[in-house]
Structure 1
Amino acid sequence: MAPDISQRASAGSGQDIQEKAGKAPASWLARLSWAMFDWANQPYFTVITTFIFAPYFTAKVIGDPVEGQSLWGFTIAFSAALVALGAPFLGAIADAGGRRKPWLFFFQILLAFGCALLWLAQPGQLQLLPLVILGLVLANIAAEYSIMFNNALLPALETPRHVGRLSGIGWGLGYAGGLIALFTVLIVSQPELVGIKPPEGEAFLGLKRDSFEAERIIGPATALWVALFVLPMFLFTPDRPGSGQPFLAVAKAGIAQVFATVRHMREYGNLLRFLIAYMIYYDGLVAIIGFGGIYAAGIFGWGTTELGLFGIALNVIAIPAVIAGGWLDDRIGSKRAVQFAIVSVALGTLGILSITADKVLFVIDVAPRAAGAGLFSATGEQVFFLCAVLLGLGMGPMQAASRTLVARLSPPQMVGEFYGIFSLSGRATTFLAPLLIGIATAMFDTQRIAAAIVLIFLGAGFVLLWKVKEPVRD
């Protein structure tokens, strides 16, 4: 039977937080190994779903960029819907059972398997497309659930005063891992960038250009990366103790607890306000990250090389920013750290809104990019990069401090369930900003409208955060 809701609510009281504050953190090896999970998993998002494999899939595998973008969007939306629907229940079941590592192990294996299937994504081999789609769905579901269960380990590893620092270190390692993976992909696919001249028709390591092996190898290589670098977390990070109950009893208790939480959600009004705010400002963040590269490709004609270098630059900026953001989180509180990050992203978005092919800051005339000009030689491109600095300074701390705030607001016995709801709130409406951008772009016939819509989402999330009360810490 699910624990009494009032008892569980009281577990998140200020007194409980103060009691936990006196406990010693886990060993440095345990905490570093937990943070290595982000290093192991971030390359999936960097090189597969954002900068390299996604454009390859839409433009080359499908062959029609419009049809490819539509199929990619439906695939990611379908997997995100499955994650959103299941996350609160799996999180609550894990709370009832205690242990998180068995869940993590299963989903990390599933992630590696899904990534390995992407090797089959070859143009002209549409009979293999169902297996590629299956790989994308499995990998996306597994990646999101893995993050949820890894997040649920965070509160037990560090004292409340320093939990923001640990979260920031994890995000920083994740960006570093993504940066190295992205740089490696660029070297393998285009070794000419670093002065290496492979034989005609080949990329680095003998990969064949005509069959796009350099792009297809990204999937299996990501699977190997995950399998190798997630090992420290399994070996050295302590799990929560198990309940000793049979799985069916644990599952029944977890499912019952989700429905009990929904019925008594008013008792968690503070956390609910945060989750609604997160849902809105996270939509804006996801939209500007996705929109930024598309906008640059549209007005400057950027291709894979420029977008890849842009992704590297964004990650270079984000690494120190998110680590510093973790320190700021512990100093001023998670809520204020999130709000500072929103302001940074909003300023970067406003800057992007001001740029066209021949203008910056709305009114300053600049020369458009000349045909055959060098990389990032136009003034508009350079100003775009300055705006990207503001995005990079804010995007990591916004996500890291949000993760920390869930740990600080959740009742300890329900942390898995609320990280599940956190995952749900981050996915439930991620279609909304892109949908509004698509409608508005069609209506006004300009890409710039996207940045204006993003600003509305960021502003609304910022305002809603004012009513969230963060627990007082020693």
Structure 2
Amino acid sequence: MTDIPLKKRVRGWMAFDWASQPYNTLLLTFIFGPYFASIFSDRLVAEGADTESANAHAQAVWGFALAIAGALIALLAPVLGAVADSTGRRMPFIWTFSALYVIGAAGLWFAYPAEFNTTLVLGFFVIGLVGMEFATSFTNALLPELGDRDEIGKLSGTGWAIGYVGGLIALVFTLCILAENESGKTLIGLSPAFGLDAELREGTRSVGPFAALWYMVFMIPFFIWVRESGPRLKPSLAIVKHGMSDLVATLKRLPQTPSLMSYLGSSMLYRDALNGMYTFGGIYAVGVLGWSVVDVGVFGILAIIFGAIFAFVGGRLDSRYGPKPVIVTSILALILAAVGIVSISPMSVFGIMVPTDSLIGPLSTADVAFYLCGCVVGAAGGTVQAASRTMLVRQANPERMTEAFGLYALAGKATAFLAPALIGVVSAVSESQRIGVTPVIGLFLLGLILLLWVKPEGEDEEVWASAT
């Protein structure tokens, strides 16, 4: 295959998690998402809308943008995965979608607060998000080449933990050096570095170019050390047709592989619900609890620390007990956290009235409760995502692994447009951010139910033989 040692190839593969995580951490969840919501909401309030409906509308628009990205990924992921399997070439796809990641992230610099062009800003964000998701899908498909079935759980968990650490470092740097709050200061009370203008929110807008630069630098080990195994064919019309026919055949055979089909359906629902919590958590805190972007960033630091620790621990538990019990336990914890988040308002937690004055430093009781829920989401979210990709390796046909991860991406995105759309619609109709995020609870429950039909070790060899 290559003369590059396996240890280096493993390190190179893990470098992707480190390099790509800032898109999720800085842009999707903790910095840019809340910034978008606050700027968009402020503009609506200036035009005469009341604050609550403006916040709900901002959440809705963000949800619809994510729905568009999810629809694009859902349509293209399995097709491109089938072509990659037929040609044996994944790296060209990773290069291409890495370029989209960089372009989309860098373009967020143009999110000027005074001349906020919603279409332009969301366009760049969607381009980068699509690039990140596709690059992730093709990189995940390389996992089975790095170890046997008993090892990949540990590898996946370690890689995910490394990604969280990278995201944590990027977030701490951003909060301390770049991103400013409403008073123009960073978390440690400094003006944004490098001469960035706080009044123009250049510190916060720079997180996009920063994420792009981070990705380009830390993907170098990946592109140097990671190589593909097996024959590599040049793409041609005949090969594309062959890949498409294999994909159609795989979809037709899904009912013959009920464990795989149930797992794809389950993961479609619970991963979408988790992404909804990640995506809207910061926006929710800004709108419901009145947090600043810096406050959300501190919240993110805690969530990421718990995510890194439990992704690492979960990988060990995965290797010892298998991914299914890890996934089930994580979903139960996420359901509890989701119920808690929806119940939190400045004056109540779980329906119980609480004082609004300070409990710990500047934090009220509601703030502390939200922090605790965020820690649970970080811990369970990191664990379930790491275990999910090792579960896919156990469920999939070993001969069609990239296609399987394409279907996995399809499963992850088939409702990725639905959950943000549901949150957007419910937020817009109810004009309440709290009510707007309730669809994630139902998605978690449905995903948990479908796991009942998933075999821990996947289909038997006889099943794959008869389904081929």
Matched, 1:37 2:16: yes
Deviation, 1:125, is 4.0
Match of 1:60 in 2: 39
Q: Measure the CA separation in 2 of the matches of 1:438 and 1:130.
A: 17
AA partner of residue 201 (structure 2): F
Q: Measure the CA separation in 1 of the matches of 2:126 and 2:451.
A: 33
Deviation, 1:161, is 0.2
Match of 1:112 in 2: 102
Superposed, 1:285-296 pairs within 5 Å as 285-296=274-285
Deviation, 1:435, is 4.4
Question: Equivalent pairs: percent with the same residue?
Answer: 36
Matched, 1:208 2:197: yes
Superposed, 1:120-269 pairs within 5 Å as 120-125=110-115, 131-187=120-176, 188-190=178-180, 192-193=185-186, 195=188, 197-198=190-191, 203-269=192-258
AA partner of residue 329 (structure 1): D
Match of 2:6 in 1: 27
Q: Measure the CA separation in 1 of the matches of 2:156 and 2:211.
A: 23
Q: RMSD of aligned C-alpha atoms? A: 2.7
Alignment equivalent of 1:457, drawn from 418, 432, 443: 443
Deviation, 1:87, is 0.3
Range with greater deviation from structure 2 (395-404 or 446-455): 446-455
**Which consecutive unaligned segments of at least 5 residues does structure 2 have?**
45-53, 461-468
Match of 1:46 in 2: 25
Write out per-residue CA displacement over residues 3-32 of structure 1, whole angstroms, 9 at most, x where no aligned residue: xxxxxxxxxxxxxxxxxxxxxx97222112
Q: Measure the CA separation in 2 of the matches of 1:445 and 1:129.
A: 20
Match of 1:9 in 2: none
**Residues 291 and 210 of structure 1, relative CA distance in 2, 3 Å threshold:** closer
Matched, 1:316 2:302: no
> TM (normalized to structure 2)?
0.86
Write out per-residue CA displacement over residues 167-223 of structure 1, whole angstroms, 9 at most, x where no aligned residue: 11111111111111111221222495565544xxxx222111232221222222211
Q: Measure the CA separation in 1 of the matches of 2:281 and 2:60.
A: 18
- Asked if the contact 1:115–1:136 (Cα under 8 Å) also holds between the matched residues in 2, the reply is yes
Q: Measure the CA separation in 2 of the matches of 1:391 and 1:309.
A: 15
Q: Measure the CA separation in 1 of the matches of 2:227 and 2:238.
A: 24
AA partner of residue 111 (structure 1): Y
Deviation, 1:48, is 1.2
AA partner of residue 380 (structure 1): A
Matched, 1:99 2:97: no
Match of 2:366 in 1: 380
Aligned residues: 441
- Asked if the contact 1:99–1:240 (Cα under 8 Å) also holds between the matched residues in 2, the reply is no
Q: Measure the CA separation in 2 of the matches of 1:101 and 1:376.
A: 49
Q: Measure the CA separation in 2 of the matches of 1:348 and 1:453.
A: 14
**Which consecutive unaligned segments of at least 5 residues does structure 1 have?**
1-24
Q: Measure the CA separation in 2 of the matches of 1:113 and 1:443.
A: 34
Q: Secondary structure of the residue that 2:257 maps to in structure 1?
A: helix
**Residues 353 and 133 of structure 1, relative CA distance in 2, 3 Å threshold:** closer
**Residues 74 and 256 of structure 1, relative CA distance in 2, 3 Å threshold:** same
Q: Secondary structure of the residue that 1:210 maps to in structure 2?
A: coil
Q: Measure the CA separation in 1 of the matches of 2:420 and 2:106.
A: 29
Q: Secondary structure of the residue that 2:228 maps to in structure 1?
A: coil
Q: Measure the CA separation in 1 of the matches of 2:429 and 2:109.
A: 39
Matched, 1:418 2:404: yes
Q: Measure the CA separation in 1 of the matches of 2:8 and 2:402.
A: 23
Match of 2:356 in 1: 368
**Residues 293 and 369 of structure 1, relative CA distance in 2, 3 Å threshold:** farther
Alignment equivalent of 2:315, drawn from 296, 321, 326: 326
**Residues 358 and 220 of structure 1, relative CA distance in 2, 3 Å threshold:** closer
**Residues 132 and 228 of structure 1, relative CA distance in 2, 3 Å threshold:** same
